[in-house]
Amino acid sequence: MEIKKLIKEKNKTILFVVLVLILLTLDIIFYSQFIYNEKSYYTEDYLAYNNKYAIDGNIKIEQTFRANRNNLEAVAIGFDKEFRTYNEEPIQIQIVETKTDTIIAEYDSIYQSPVQKYKKYKFEFEKQKESLEKEYKIVVTYANGTKENALLFNTEKEFNQGKLTINGEEQQANISFELYYHSNYASTIWLTLMIGINILAIIGIWLLTYRKLTLERVFVLITLTIGLVYVFVIPIYRGHDEQAHFFRAYEISKGIFNTKIENGVSITKIPKAFEDITLERGEYCNQANYKEVIDFLKVQTKEGETITEGACYMAVYSPIPYIPQAITIAICDLLTDNVAVMFYMTRLVNLMVAIIILYVAMKIIPFGKKIIFLIAIIPTTMTQIATASPDATTITSCILFVSYILKLLYEKRDMTKKEIARVTFLGSIVALCKIVYIPFILLVLLIPKQRYKNNKNYWTSIALMTILPIIINLIWLSIAGSHLELIDANKSAAQTTNILTNIPEYIRVVLYTIKYSFGTLLTALFGGVLLHGDLVDNGMLVVLPIVLLFVFEILLDDELKEKLKLNTKVLLSISIFMIMCLIVTSLYVQWSPLKWFYVNGIQGRYFIPLLLPATILLGQNQWVKKVGKVNLQAMFGYTSIIVNFMALAQIVLTYL
């Protein structure tokens, strides 16, 4: 017995070591990316060019420059085409400290790239710790030059930096080059965040390996810990349309549920401090980095300093999905003037509420608990619930509604007034979050007629649970309709008429969009790209493991096998199909040009609420039988930690 126990403990230790080694391997990969994509440098860019220089014969080019920082570490030079000489003679490149005439770097060849018209070649050397204010020069010499292979340079005044001579002749220009200084700031942020993420990942792996935890506890442990990291690692306003959603939540916190319209524009009045980070840069908010976020931590709201923002798109949203954010902002507004505290507390509460709702759904659903866990740990889902996005409420309320209907479906007792009221309430929440998910309400038809007191009670209850949410939604649409009119100036009506009068053509447009965008949607749905503008590119290293987990759940989870009757399968399928049609059609009506050949604006995150019913449906099969004991919970737990580790590392790398 002791030997068996020892073997089991040994296997656990091997598994723990292997997973930690995987983390360390990923660390090396991300560190390499950190170094080679130039995130570890401050740069001074003089790469702009408007001319080329090429002559026959021997050439010597000297470009001087003065370092504006310490820790000069590399210089990049811009060349044209496949830069080489006749007879493949070497090109000599030197970086020289002018005062002492010391050669600090020397190269005799460059990488040849015949495909590209322009190539930046980077030359690294030992870090010059005391480079500030020192003068250096770039020296390029080669024999048998040809006019086909040119060095690039700029003659515009604002780009002039130092002195340029070609074969001893001074030029009114500078070559195309870029300076790199080692960034202690970026390196410190990178090291600090990566050490923290590693420690949390290793602790999570240790707990999963050596502690017996229920699925619900694993769910809370992983989603809460990873979610907290997402909350603080994602820079301010970098969630999907997060800036506008935060402004809308602030407006609701002040009791303004329907956005005001002034001079034909939907406008939201917000404290000026909310936009300081954007206004300082003069560009939209998806480009900033951690340095600017650190600066933003000091920003305070000031009495009377307000500005107005255009808000027609967010004004269409009802106040319901903003309730957690609005309440948090209202409380914070009473306690502090610090915008960062208000913002990150809003994210934190949004995360906590989402996790609580998903936990309740997991507790009440009769089967499919692992599916809810899987949906929650997708990086796409995590970034939605860990930001100020109303999608957190939308996604979780849809999952809770489906879970509650399945609970009622499999309970062997009569429907009570409380249960009918809860279904009506949850259905109304779903409808007010996003109208495209309203077909979920049809699932109330799954509850057997025998569960109601009598025939009259059945029809009254069904009418209440289906019609009331629709009426409530229509009331809100009538209120917010004026904002929709401002968005498209009656284009929606024309687009709708176009669809109804030419249905075959619209079907062709949809099928073409699916063919063209299927891979992109799949990637975005399962975390291949994240955050505003899809700036964070995780690639298939994140997508494939998540997809495989869903495949394993569908094939191997015995809890899903033969749970649904035919009528339940049919109604679930109809609801899923209707929601997909509404998502696509609403985007075509609102976002695509009139009679356009393609549906604009489809994003993978819109389909997250469909993953629960779709996976349950697919899991009803008996394709795989008796594959042996597979610990899906452990598999899901370990993979979720590794996958989110990669996603978080890529976020840090993107915004350094």
- Identify the three-state secondary structure at position 253: helix
* Minimum mean pLDDT range among 181-185, 195-199, 490-494, 542-546: 490-494
* pLDDT of residue 92 exceeding 60: yes
pLDDT at 262: 81
pLDDT of 71: 92
Confidence of residue 148 (pLDDT cuts 50, 70, 90): low
Q: How far is Cα 285 from Cα 278, in angstroms, rounded to an integer?
A: 6
DSSP letter, residue 337: -
In angstroms, the CA 162 to CA 75 distance is 14
Q: Alpha-carbon distance 49 to 175, whole Å?
A: 8
Give whole-number Cα distances, 194 to 34, 183, 227, 236, 354, in Å: 11, 16, 16, 19, 26
CB–CB of 254/199 below 8 Å? no
In what helix (H) or strand (E) does residue 177 lie, and over which residues does it extend?
A: strand 177-182
> What single DSSP character describes residue 528?
S
Q: Is residue 304 part of a domain?
A: no
Domain membership flag for residue 258: no
pLDDT of residue 282: 35
For residue 4, pLDDT beyond 60: no
User: Cα(612)–Cα(441) distance, rounded to whole angstroms?
Assistant: 15
CB neighbourhood size of 558 (10 A):
14
In terms of DSSP bridges, do strands 529-530 and 306-310 run parallel, antiparallel, or are they unpaired? unpaired
Q: Which of 143, 167, 182 is the last residue in one of the domains?
A: 182
- Give the per-residue SS3 of 222-239: HHHHHHHHHHHHCCCCCC
392 pLDDT above the threshold of 60:
yes
**Given 136, 158, 182, which residue is the final one in a domain?**
182
Identify the pLDDT of residue 283. Answer: 40
Residue of 412, 428, 410 whose CA lies nearest to 420: 428
3-class SS of residue 213:
coil
How many distinct structural domains can be found in the chain? 2
How many angstroms separate the Cα of 562 from the Cα of each of 89, 275, 394, 616?
A: 74, 54, 29, 10
SS3 146: coil
More confident residue, 490 or 284: 490
Beta-bridge partners for 175 = 153
Burial class (CB in 10 A: 0-12, 13-18, 19+), 32: exposed
Q: Which of 153, 150, 53, 144 is nearest to 90 (CA)?
A: 144
**What residues contact 206, with CB distance under 8 A and at least 6 apart?**
16
Task: Decide: 599 and 513 in contact? Cβ < 8 Å.
Answer: yes
Rounded CA-CA distance 504/525 in Å is 28
Decide if pLDDT at 411 tops 50. yes
Give CA torsion, residues 520, 522, 528, 530, to 10 deg. Answer: 80
Q: What is the pLDDT of residues 268-312, one digit of tens each?
A: 888 888 876 654 433 434 455 777 777 778 888 887 788 888 776
Nearest Cα residue to 323 out of 229, 394, 399: 394
560 CB contacts (<8 Å, ≥6 apart)?
Answer: 367, 368, 553, 554, 615, 616, 619, 620
Residue 223 has pLDDT above 70, yes or no: yes
In this predicted model, what pLDDT tens digit does every residue of 8-39 receive, in sequence order?
677 888 999 999 999 999 999 999 988 877 77
Give the span between the Cα atoms of 10 and 273, in whole angstroms: 56
Q: In what order do the strands lie in the sheet with 135-145?
A: 102-107, 91-97, 135-145, 57-66, 164-166, 169-171
| Short-list 586, 603, 547, CA closest to 439 | 586
User: Between the CA of residue 181 and those of 64, 102, 597, 603, what are the distances in Å?
Assistant: 17, 19, 48, 39
- Residue 52 pLDDT greater than 80, yes or no: no
pLDDT at position 17: 93
| Within-domain flag for 449 | yes
Average pLDDT over residues 261-270: 83
Is 1 inside any structural domain?
no
More confident residue, 146 or 366: 366
Q: Are 176 and 78 in contact (CB under 8 A)?
A: yes
Q: What average pLDDT is seen over the chain?
A: 87
What is the token pair recorded at 633? 């919970």
Asked whether residue 341 is domain-assigned, the answer is: no
Nearest of 364, 389, 442, 440 to residue 609 by alpha carbon: 440
Is the per-residue pLDDT at 143 higher than 90? no
- pLDDT tens sequence across 548-578: 999 999 998 888 888 888 999 999 999 999 9
> If pLDDT is split at 50, 70 and 90, which confidence band does 335 have?
very high
Quick one: tokens of 123? 């030359």
Residue 224 lies in a domain: no
Range in 7-21, 244-258, 524-538, 623-637 the model is least confident about: 623-637
CA 621 to chain centre: 33
Of 84-93, 345-354, 486-495, give the lowest mean pLDDT range.
84-93
- Cβ distance 80 to 152 under 8 Å? yes
Exposed (0-12), middle (13-18) or buried (19+): which is 8, by Cβ within 10 Å?
A: exposed
Using DSSP's 3-state secondary structure scheme, residue 345 falls into helix
Task: For residues 108 and 494, give the distance between their C-alpha atoms in angstroms, rounded to a whole number.
Answer: 65
Average pLDDT value for residue range 237-256: 92
475 is written with which tokens? 């009331």
As a whole number, mean pLDDT of residues 380-392 equals: 96
Q: Which of 131, 150, 182 is where one domain is finished?
A: 182
- For residue 213, tell me if it sits in a domain: no
Q: Which of 67-71, 159-163, 611-615 has the lowest mean pLDDT?
A: 159-163
- C-alpha torsion sign, points 351, 354, 359, 360: positive
Structure tokens at 434: 């996003």
76, containing H or E segment: strand 72-80
Instruction: From 97, 53, 90, select the one nearest 75 (Cα to Cα).
Output: 97
C-beta separation of 70 from 130 below 8 A: yes
Q: Which domain holds residue 502?
A: 348-654
- What is each CA distance from 454 to 173, 260, 445, 447, in whole angstroms? 90, 48, 15, 14
Q: Please give the pLDDT value at position 402.
A: 97
Residue 110 lies in a domain: yes
CATH number at residue 168: 2.60.120
pLDDT band at residue 437 using 50, 70 and 90 as cut-offs: very high
Candidates 50, 131, 119, 128; CA nearest to 91 is: 119
Q: Which residues of 176-202 are buried (b: 16+ CB within 10 A; e: fewer)?
A: bbbbbbbbeebbebbeebbeebbebbb
CA-CA distance, 208 to 221, in Å (whole number)? Answer: 10
- Which positions ≥6 away from 653 have C-beta within 8 Å? 30, 33, 34, 37, 39, 190
In this prediction, residue 279 carries a pLDDT of: 40
